[in-house]
Amino acid sequence: MNRASAPVSKEVVLLGGGHSHVAVLKMFGMDPVPGARVTLICKDVMTPYSGMLPGLIAGHYSFDEAHIDLRKLCRFAGAQFYRAEAAGLDLENRLVLLKDRPPVRFDLLSINTGSTPRSHDVPGAAKYTIPVKPVERFLAKLPEIINQAQSARGRTCRIAVVGGGAGGVELALSVQFHLSSVRREDASSREFHLVTDTDVILPTHNRRVQSKYARILRERGVRVHLRHAVVRVEPGLLHREPGEPVPFDIAFWVTSAAAPPWFAQAGLKADAGGFIAVNDCLQSLSHPFVFAAGDVAAVLNHPRPKSGVFAVRQGRPLADNVRRALTGQPLQSFSPQRQFLSLISTGNKYAVASRGPFAFEGEWVWRWKDWIDRRWMRKYQQLPMMANGGGARGEGAESSAIESQRSTLEPPAMRCGGCGAKVGSTVLRRVLERLKVSAREDVIIGLEAPDDAAVTVIPPGKLSLQTVDFFRALVNDPYLFGQIAANHSLNDIYAMGGEPRSALAMAMLPYAAEDVMEEQLFQLLSGALRVLDESNVVLSGGHTAEGAELAFGLVVQGVGDPNRLLRKSGMKPGDQLILTKPLGTGTLFAAEMRGAANGEWIEKALATMLLSNRAAAEIIQRHGATACTDVTGFGLTGHALEMANASDVGLEIKLAEVPLMEGALECIRGGILSSLHPDNLRARRAIGNLNDVQLDERFPILFDPQTAGGLLASVPLTNAAACVAQLISSGYRNAGIVGNVRASAQMEPRILINVQKDPPISET
């Protein structure tokens, strides 16, 4: 990852993962502005490239070929990535309001969120048709749509597309090609309609293009309904004026673009269509600290169609002007070209090209388009290796900065060590006021009335349990990191069958300007509090310090019933080993730091890490667990060995039954392992049949260190199957029996690894 070394003094937020913003991220990664931190907020990890979507729908491209991994791109750029959906803006306080998480502060904001088809003024359109945007939602529904069209045997399946622009034409032909290529013999049982209120199809293109597509649609059997405005949609019927309703089984909505209403609600000056009005520098006419590009922007002096080609070309000027705004340079005007190359596909590997009054068609045009699209995607899918702390040089057109722009933002004053390294009291006070931490009866002195120490009450007859965890940030979203760290820290209490009651936070924040540090601490503690509140744990105090990087942990105090306490000792021969979560965080996040992990792998790993073990602990206790621990830094083998030694038993681990996170095995095959893996590997000396199993490709996962991992428990054989069934039904979908306990006299060394699938379980 590429990081500027200067302390952060300015926050740049990129809202949306559109074509312009991926260019900004790449350019800032190649040449960062020291002192500026970039944060991308997007509701999706994989952002589609519009030029390849028709080919993806038709089946010519895979999902990965047509998408850019935003998490990987942010890692390259040294940017924070927040997976979240925008709900509005508070421009007075410079906040992006988000759904289901705290707002995010900014100094400069750029918006490139894309648009959706206009449907709010047509009753029933939103309910009974399928909008092509947001694209990710459309693609998620596409398999179901295809299945519906294919299952209409013995009757005609009527497919309607509303919208006669390039998007509507390409969608109709791509869906038609996909269906015919999968089940060609049923092609005659499908009926396609293209409905538009315009006089011609493709009204923004020249007459030659319109003529060619009129012919192509006619040859493909697509019925075109010109000058028919859809005024109402009912189940199975498109009501139009003039004319009779068009019946449909599946209807796609691909009309002109509409802007989110919260642009205008926030006070941004907008054009007649509700899109953000910007000047020639892509800067808001009403709020100069806001920029916009792509479909959501209306460049008033240079109106252009809502097309991905313009969003792509706005990337460089947007990056340059954001850089200039940060460094106090005058902004530069940008004038988009009037004539541009347009390449429109026809479903099969055939396309039409046009520029100005000219138009060409053929298979060679599709090959040309394919070459252009793949070349553009390679810029964001095959990222160069970056030196730490500096941008790459010698990349020619890939670096947008000029020497005069590379001034550093003014850094904060020299920082102190010792007690002077604490975060200032003003920052802490403001953060605590924003967090609104509530009081609780069993906490006599806590954050609501700060003192030198927190004071809590232990219920009569209970034992006090205490544990501590602290580690560096493994994700570049402090809110998410706070959640993961809290889950990880609570696991020790849950593993012992206890109830966590209160927590003290320990946070190390990177050197930064005061308002920047306040924002990061607020996000971090907000994430931790979300988990603590859900677990009925009160945050009663803590300590903050400044340091080189973000780190966080919790001291957790809990209580336990002395008669129900679970320990690492207590395993009995015949018990079954149950693991509540899959393995793989160590290798996956090692790969993520190298830019080698698929973003979807990381998202699924994060979802697992955010899953609390609270319910799992209750379930395994309910089924008579004899011993338990949580699987964390020492890996499955290390923690299992601790339990075996403490219980004086032997263990058989069924390697084929150990659940793995998606992508973990691929990372291990690539030789990517956690830095802690070599230390954990020392536990292999306890494996009796090491020579027989160490060449198995799954073997390294047994030593993979976990963050916010699952519980490893021994449960009596008679209860194990029911325990796993309840775990799975309670959300622990990967829970399973991963081994069994043997008498120590039968096993020396302590562990045997069984590599066979579903080996027989023997009772001793």
Catalytic residues: 419
Distance CA 431, CA 425 (A): 10
What's the rounded Cα separation, in Å, for the pair 673 and 745?
Answer: 35
Q: What is the separation of C-alpha 140 from the centre of its chain, rounded to a whole number of angstroms?
A: 15
Burial of 150 (C-beta count, 10 Å sphere; 0-12/13-18/19+): middle
- With vertex at residue 35, the alpha carbon angle to CA 30 and CA 40, rounded to the nearest 5 degrees, is 60
Cα–Cα dist 352/337, whole Å: 20
Give the whole-angstrom CA distance, residue 522 versus residue 516: 10
Cα dihedral 633, 635, 636, 642 in deg (nearest 10): -60
Closest CA to 714 of 655, 661, 642, 659: 642
Place of tokens 């705004």: 325
Q: Count of H helices and E strands in the chain?
A: 21, 37
If we measure between CA atoms, which residue out of 255, 256, 274, 273 comes closest to residue 264? 274
**Are 699 and 583 spatial neighbours (Cβ–Cβ below 8 Å)?**
no
**Three-state DSSP class for 198?**
coil
Q: Dihedral, CA atoms, 115, 119, 120, 123, nearest 10 degrees? A: -170
Separation of alpha carbons 688 and 177, rounded Å: 58
**Residue located via tokens 């790459």:** 392
Phi, psi values for residue 144, rounded to 5°: -65, -40
Rounded CA gap, 303 and 314, in Å?
A: 13
495: enclosing H helix or E strand: helix 478-495
- Measured distance CA(131)–CA(530) in Å, rounded: 34
Coil, helix or strand for 720? Answer: helix
* Token pair 């013995």: residue: 154
DSSP E strand boundaries for 582-659: 627-630, 649-654
Within 235-378, strands assigned E span: 237-241, 246-247, 250-253, 257-258, 276-278, 290-292, 297-299, 342-346, 348-355, 358-362
Burial of 545 (0-12, 13-18, 19+ CB in 10 A): middle
Neighbouring-strand partners of residue 14: 40, 110
- The answer to whether 183 and 274 have CB atoms below 8 angstroms apart is no
| DSSP per-residue codes, 342-371 | EEEEESEEEEEEEETTEEEEEHHHHHHHHH
Among residues 756, 23, 29, the alpha carbon closest in space to that of 319 is found at: 23
**Residue whose entry in the numeric block shows the structure tokens 């120590």:** 744
Q: How far apart are CA 423 and CA 430, in angstroms?
A: 12
The CA distance from 635 to 178, in Å, is: 46
Distances in Å between the Cα of 63 and the Cα atoms of 68, 74, 432, 764 are: 10, 20, 44, 50
CA 196 to chain centre: 36
DSSP class of residue 383 equals P
User: Strand, coil or helix: what is 44?
Assistant: coil
- 130-131 vs 250-253, strand pairing mode: parallel
Please give the structure tokens belonging to residue 81: 């990535």
